[in-house]
Amino acid sequence: MLPSYRCFPSIRKKGSWPLGIVPPTEGSLDRETWTRLLEILTEHSPAGPVTRCLAYYSPLTLGASDFENPHVRVGKLGDAAILYDDPETDFSPSNLWAEDRSWCLCTDYDLCATKVAGSQVLVEALLSDFEIEAIRLPWTTT
pLDDT tens digit sequence for 9-54: 555 555 555 555 555 555 677 788 889 999 999 999 989 999 999 9
Q: pLDDT-based confidence at 5, cuts 50/70/90? A: very low
- The more confidently predicted of residues 62 and 76 is 76
Cα distances (Å, whole numbers) of residue 117 to 24, 33, 38, 80, 122:
22, 16, 14, 18, 8
Cα 103–chain centre separation? 12
Helix%, strand%, coil% for the chain, nearest 5:
30, 20, 50
In the predicted structure, residue 142 carries a pLDDT above the cut 80 = no
- Domain segments of the chain as ranges: 23-128
The per-residue pLDDT for 21 is 58
**Spatial contact of 131 and 36, defined as CB atoms under 8 Å apart:** yes
Give me the pLDDT at residue 65, please: 65
